[in-house]
Each structure stands twice: as structure tokens, then as C-alpha cells.
Amino acid sequence: MDIQFNKMNPAHGIISITLHESDYKAIVEQQLKHYAQKVRLKGFRVGAVPLALVKKMHGQAILAEELRKIAYKALQDYVTEEAIPIFIEPLLVAVPMQLDLLQQDSFTFSYEVGLLAIDNVALGPPISVTEFEIESVEDALVDELIEGLQWVHGQALPLKESDVHALLQGSLTDSIYQQQIKVRIAVERVPSPLRAALIGCHVGDKVTITQAMLADHSPAFLGLTFREWAAFCKQEAVWSALFTIEKIAHVTPAELNIAFFNLLLGEGVADSQDAFRSAIVQVILKDKRMEAHYAFYESLREELFKYNQIALPEAFIKKWISVNNPNATAEEIAYYYTVEEANLKFEFILGSIVRNNNLAVTQSDVIEEAKRIYTDYAAHNLKNRELEESDIQGGLLSFLQKDSGKHYAQLHEKLSKNRAIAFIKQHIAVISQKVTAAQFDARLKI
């Protein structure tokens, strides 16, 4: 096996892997024997088809498949052994469809790779980020969410045509058709002089919506978090927006009773309105604290970008997007790249910090984190049952192997990110600020 690494620039390279007969012959023969045990062919019992016939019929397809597997495994091993700092899945650029599988005994696979190219990430006291701690929730936010939930779970009578008492559900799209959110609009909550456009409408109709028309719709009533609504409103050229009607109904809001509490929280969690409100407070606190967590990430990202210039391999990334989305147009690829550019730069920085400071996540780290997650899940969902170690191991293996190892990769990425963030926080100025939920929302002007 021969491997060559051609680094075309600091952020982009090609790794070529040449496989010789000795690298794949034994593996292919073993796979042929395995396949022969299962192949069905008229005139032969299962498992009794001669190996020579199996090879004649399926040998080239099996060879091509095994070559791909061997080459990709060699690529992964090479990247690990040589500590090559790649990001994003390598892109196969030399496909063996053009190779002569009958005449050749050596095959070359080439992979384009994106490289993490930051030797030293600039940190230090000049970088200052505020970290918000949400301490409490105002009654008004609790009232808004409960009202929204009453409408969602109320009794709905479908209508063919909207009137002043109708609740409309549909998609709200900005004026340049790039951002779209699902919302619900109560016609009677629209100021009287502005509601005429929403009366007499049918499913499929499109109505122009101004910000003034939704002044009496809280984010919770619209069916959004404050963060989602603020993110939509802050985009350029949002208003006037286009509302496409998908459902029309008269809705009688659900009553605040035990059945409603059980529906939302589970049997017996809340037995009174006070207990229900307390539970809703905890729901809001959890959501707002998660929002504060992401707000810290966004602020940190912005500050890091001020002190670190990141050059992405734009052409390679767009090519990667194109290969993985073959039906996407050039305009769609360019738009997707623009949307994800900041996230990719942030990943560059975090990956470089992990690499430069020996913070790499090991397999045992991932397994321990998965064990913690599964044990916590079991404690909350498998009540009145003691967990045996075999139960934990069985659930753990199932979790990590699900979706072709997707959960393993996600956990690895999460742990790497957390380690990088923890390292950064130790080397910059972090200002802690305690606020209420409404005070936190006030940062995001609508």
C-alpha cells in the first residue's frame, strides 16, 4: 500500500491511497466465500453454488466494494497516525468506476480533505464575553405560554373561509423569500383597521403581513420562542412578510383543569393551577437557560472572530456541498455556504484548540458520557426498577451503534466542543450576569 499526502494550501489537501493485490486479495477471497454461503441461484441449494461461478457472476462488484472499504479504512488510519487535522468528511475524487477491474491489480483512491490550519488561536483578556444566568421568570411570560398552550390544545372547528374569530395557521416568509417560520394568527387580535386582509380567506391563500398586524401576538401565541421570533425579525427585508394559510379554524381554548395539566405534564404532576404554573415556570427556566447557553456561544464566536482571521477552503467546501446535494443549484450551494460559513469558522477554532492543547476525546470518554446519559435516562423513565450492569451495557451498545454510529459521532463532537469551550473560558474574561427571563429577552430587540 502506498499513501501520498499533497498539501495544496494550508486549508486544503489530497490524500492518495494506492492498493496493491497483496492489500486486498485475501479480504476479497474471504468475502467471496462468505457471499457464496448466502447466494441463491436456480439449480443449486443455498450455500452450494460453486465459488468459481460466484466469482464470475459477482466477483467484480465485490472487488469494487471491498476496495472502497479498504481504501477508506486506510485513509482513517493514516489521518489518525499522522495526526492530520482534517475537518468535514473527506471527499472521494477518483472513483474506480473508470478503472479496469479485470486488467489492473493496483488501484488508486484520492480523497480531498479540508484542513484545520490555525497554529495559534488568539485568546487572552482582550476577549470579553458575558455569560447570563437566568434566575427567575416573570408572571407575564408564564401567562403568555399558558395562553398559547390553551389555544394549541383547544377544541378546533375547521372552517372553509376565515372570519374575525378565526385562528389561522401557516408559513410566514420574509419579503425576499429566504427565511420561513410556522406561526398561528388570531384575526381578532390584529388591530381592527388592519385585519380586513385576513377575513374571507381560504387555505392556500397568501396574505401580506406587516409587523404592526402582529403587535398583540406574543411569541408564545405565535407558537415560537422569543429567540426564534427575534431571529426572524432581525433579518434584513423581513417586512412586509408573506403569510401562506394552511389551516383555518374556530378554536375554543382548553380549560385549565386536571385533564389539561395531565395532557401537558404527565399524570399526577400538577393537581392545581398553582402547581401547574410552578411546572410551567420550570419549563420556561429550562428553555431560557438553554437559550442563554447558546447566546454565550454566539457572543464568544463573534469575539473570537475579531482576533482570529480564518481562511476557509471555500471552493472545496462548495464542492463538498454539491457532491452531497447533487440536486442543489449553484445559487442554493452559495446560499448554504453563506449560512454555514460562521459555524464552520467556529468549528475551525474549536478543533484547533483541541488539537493544539492535547484535549482530544478518547473512545473511553465517549463511552463514559454515553453511560452517564443512559443511566440518567433510565433513572427518570424506568422507575421502580433497579438497573443491572448488563442492562446498562446493553442499552449503551444499542445507543452508540444506532444509525451507523451517528450517536457516537455526535457525542464525540459534543465532548470535543465542551473541552474547547472550557479551555477558552479559562483564558479570556468571562463576565457573569444574573437576570430574569424577561431581562434576558430584552437583549434581543424586535
pLDDT in tens, 162-197: 999 999 999 999 887 678 999 999 999 999 999 999
Domain range for residue 335? Answer: 294-434
Q: Would you say residue 286 lies in a domain? A: no
125-169, pLDDT tens digit by residue?
899 999 999 999 999 999 999 999 999 999 999 999 999 999 999
C-alpha cell belonging to residue 178: 429566504
3-state helix, strand, coil in the chain (%, to 5): 50, 20, 30
Residues 374 and 304 occupy one common structural domain: yes
**163 φ/ψ angles, rounded to the nearest 5 degrees:** -130, -170
> What are the angstrom distances between the C-alpha of 357 and each of 220, 311, 349, 424?
43, 21, 12, 11
Concatenate the DSSP letters of all residues of 397-412 into one string: HHHHHHHHHHHHHHHH
> 151's torsion region: left (phi>0), alpha (psi -120 to 50) or beta?
alpha
Q: Domain boundary at 84, 115, 146, which?
A: 115
* Residues 111 and 143 occupy one common structural domain: no
From 273, 305, 330, the end of a domain falls on 273
Q: Is residue 267 part of a domain?
A: yes
Mean of pLDDT over the chain: 87
**Pairing status of strand 155-158 against strand 107-115:** unpaired
CA distance 262 to 267: 5
Phi-psi domain of 405 (left: phi exceeds 0; alpha: psi -120 through 50; beta: other): left
Q: What count of Cα atoms within 13 Å lies in the side-chain half-sphere of residue 72?
A: 13
45 and 152 in a common domain: no
| Interatomic CA distance for residues 7 and 12, integer angstroms | 6
Q: 148 in a domain, yes or no?
A: yes
Q: Are 71 and 53 in contact (CB under 8 A)?
A: no
Query: What's the number of domains the chain is made of?
Result: 3
Report pLDDT digits (tens) over 255-308: 999 999 999 999 999 999 999 999 999 999 999 999 999 899 999 999 999 999
Q: Are residues 94 and 160 in the same domain?
A: no
pLDDT at 56: 77
* CA atoms of 212 and 230, how far apart (whole Å): 15
Same domain, 262 and 308: no
Residues 233 and 328 in one domain: no
Q: Is there a contact between 245 and 202 (Cβ–Cβ < 8 Å)? A: yes
Say if 129 falls within a structural domain.
no
Mean local confidence (pLDDT), 27-41: 79
State the CATH number of the domain containing residue 111: 3.30.70.1050
Domain shared by 261 and 299, yes or no: no
Whether residue 127 lies inside any domain: the answer is no
In a domain? residue 278: no
- The pLDDT score that the predictor gives to residue 161 is 97
Q: With cut-offs at 50, 70 and 90, classify the pLDDT of residue 231.
A: confident
CB 301 within 8 A of CB 129: no
Q: Which of 54-58, 103-107, 362-366 has the lowest mean pLDDT?
A: 54-58
Statement to judge: residues 430 and 299 lie in one domain: yes
Which residue do the cell numbers 485513509 mark? 75
pLDDT in tens, 367-421: 888 888 777 766 666 555 555 655 566 667 666 766 656 778 888 889 999 999 9
> Which three cell numbers mark 258?
386536571
Same domain, yes or no: 176 and 222: yes
| Count of CB atoms situated within 10 Å of the CB of 387 | 13
Tell me: do 149 and 220 sit in the same domain.
yes
Cα distances (angstroms) measured from residue 132 to each of 36, 169, 230, 437, 441 = 63, 34, 18, 10, 11
Q: Based on the domain organization, do 90 and 182 belong to the same domain?
A: no
Question: Per the domain annotation, does 282 fall within a domain?
Answer: no
426 domain-assigned:
yes
Q: Do 188 and 235 fall into the same domain?
A: yes
Counting Cβ atoms within 10 Å, is residue 131 exposed (0-12), middle (13-18) or buried (19+)? middle
